[in-house]
A and B are shown apart, each in its own frame.
Chain A
Amino acid sequence: MSDQALTYLDANGVAAVGPAWLDVRRKAARASFADAGFPHRRVEAWRYTDLSRLIAKTDWQPAMPHAGAVLVPEGRSNPFAAITSHKLVFVNGFFRPDLSELEGLPAGVEILPLEAALESGTKFETAFDANGPEAVAPIAALNTACAKDGAVIRLGEGVALDQPVQLIHYTPDGGATASHTRNVIELGAGASMTLLEAQIGWGGAYLVDRLTNLTLGEGASLTHVRIEDEDAQAVHIATVLGDVAAEASYVAGTLAIGGRAGRLQTALRFTGEDAHAESNTAYLLRDQQQLDSTIIADHAVPGCTSGALAKGVLDGEATGVFQGKVIVAPHAQKSDAKQMSNALLLSRDAAMNAKPELEIYADDVQCAHGSTIGELDGDALFYLRSRGIDEQTARRMLISAFLGGVLEQIPHEEARDLLSERAAGWFESRSGGEA
């Protein structure tokens, strides 16, 4: 039993308000989280992100709905605003119908807030049963016990959704408040869509925990583009947990620039052959920011391909973490898994912890993993400057070059360009103009 967890759950857990199938699961999750407590550094998978310590000494209370207009600070707006999309907007973790756009959904497409989906009697037992591997299970339990709202997106068999779906989360209010969001995404066989997610906050110290349950049917395809731009004092966790069926494909591209401390954790399991999953993450950190990118690919069946690529630019006293884990089951022959972490340290006080792990029980597999930690190449900098390019521009060129190949993997061109622009904005906003 953890007192820290109990106190937290008493304040932030969701009471039994039905439906019954969910109450049962919330109760079980609550018990399991109370038992395990907030993960801390003595838990191997959380060695570099001591969540227990990060949230300690704060009397966390549930976030409240934000009344009225949402005034997004300059330069922090939803980068995907210009892309015509179906849109769900959440503020402080609560759905805001007035800011959302859900008219004209094509046949076979269901997009609605979790609360409404539950009221309509839809059951998501499997989505709330899956806790995922050990590394993500504590957070999955916490989320099940505390999630109030979220998005439900369901595509019927063979539905190809032309317009992307945007999930926009704003956190304008902070002050020791916490919000837990649960998204459920189910793509029927052969269905396809692009999900654009923006997590933007400026409310000061707050905690956000967002968990997305994915179920991709046979041959389904999901492109998931994300920006994480939380407040510089916020602690944020974004979990993606899911099953990928035969011949299905999940491609994620994430730009993370915000937050005091964050963990992006993705755990995917292949349930059918010839499926593909990849996560491409670019993170740009400064001051005392820290970001943990943890990616687990479970090759439970033969013939699947997975990729994890994370590139981080670390300035100031920032810390980056990469944890990759590939599990290949004994019969999962012809599995192909790649993991790569590259970090560019712009300051002596920045730090990187990379831990790629392979657990391979099959023999006919291709697995590659590696990690690099480096600094800006002084020769390259001299070369560029010797042609008249000023130091700041030269550094920027080299940093962009380093990041190249991550955001480029995003298959949605417009979203990719918009994220690249936002990444460029990070350089502009660097204080002191050192690079």
Chain B
Amino acid sequence: MLEIKDLHASVDGTPILKGISLTIGDGEVHAIMGPNGSGKSTLSNVLAGREDYTITKGSITYKGKDLTELAIEERASAGIFLAFQYPTEIPGVTTMTFLKTAVNAQRKVRGEEELNAVTFLKLVRQKAKELKVDEDMLKRPLNVGFSGGEKKRAETLQMSLLEPSLAVLDETDSGLDIDALKIVADGVNRLRAPDRSMIVITHYQRLLDYIVPDHVHVLAKGRIIRSGGKELAKELEASGYTDLTESAA
């Protein structure tokens, strides 16, 4: 699905990612943990194609193709989805209108028929219900005034509508109450499929009790300093990052 090789990326000339290599097979779920400021969100943004970041070295191959050649929207239509750590508030754009535009834009690129208003509404209602997203929220401007947890749920709703091949969840658990965490995790688990891979970025082992990863990586100072199985998350929960980052330095 995804192969990152020796990836270096910088912003305004400051190197942030300093040689990341990561291979994600079809259907795999990889968790990325690591201290604040270590580059987790930077990696997500680079995958989604944010133009503020410059790739200075290395490669990203997605489904056998050079991902860096694709524009932001082309990556989305090719199946990459980033659930933002801080979803952007967009006043004046109704959530429902946005969802429909996004779904149909991707369908169009893939040569699928666009969904009409009725079909789309049915689909959104069903997904919203599963994720316990209040329908009234969909009539509001996108993310505007949504609570922290509501934003994360809205991101999950978008993901379940867009059905990506590679989902990157950047701290989708932060800001969620215990019930919401369960609902969102269930939503994510429903999407798990042999042809769908996920990168789950989190600070908390708790999420990984619900979304059980195949691999866990620790990112520190722009590098992956340790990788392991799901038990690595438990170990980190107990010991913290200090030992690891010190031994890596």
Contact = CB atoms under 8 A, between A and B. Distances in A.
Interface stretch (A176-184, A236-244, A385-393): A385-393
A387 B87 contact: no
Contact of B88 (A383, A388, A401, A402): A383
A434 to B, nearest CB: 15
Contacts of A397: 93, 98, 101
A402 B93 CA distance: 9
A390 to B, nearest CB: 5
A393 B50 CA distance: 17
A253 B141 CA distance: 24
A433 to B, nearest CB: 15
Given A380-B88, A382-B50, A387 B162 contact: yes
Contact of A383 (B87, B101, B109): B87
B92 A401 contact: yes
Contacts, number: 76
Range class of the A interface residue count = 20 to 34
A247 B141 CA distance: 35
A384 B158 CA distance: 12
Contact of B102 (A379, A388, A402): A388
Nearest to A379: B88
B105 A386 contact: no
A380 B50 CA distance: 12
Contacts of B105: 387-390, 393
Contact of B106 (A383, A384, A388, A400): A388
Interface in B65-81: 71-73, 75-77, 81
Contact of B92 (A378, A382, A404): A404
A388 B73 contact: yes
A6 interface: no
A390 B73 contact: yes
A398 interface: yes
B185 to A, nearest CB: 22
Given A386-B75, A389-B101, A389-B102, 13 more contacts: A382-B51, A384-B93, A385-B73, A386-B48, A387-B102, A387-B158, A391-B71, A398-B90, A398-B93, A401-B92, A401-B141, A404-B92, A405-B92
Interface of B: 48-52, 71-73, 75-77, 81-82, 84, 87-88, 90-93, 98, 101-102, 105-106, 109, 141, 158, 162
27 contacts: A377-B88, A379-B88, A380-B88, A382-B48, A383-B87, A383-B90, A385-B71, A385-B72, A385-B73, A386-B49, A386-B72, A387-B73, A387-B76, A387-B98, A387-B106, A387-B162, A388-B77, A388-B102, A388-B106, A389-B101, A389-B105, A390-B73, A391-B73, A393-B101, A393-B105, A401-B93, A405-B92
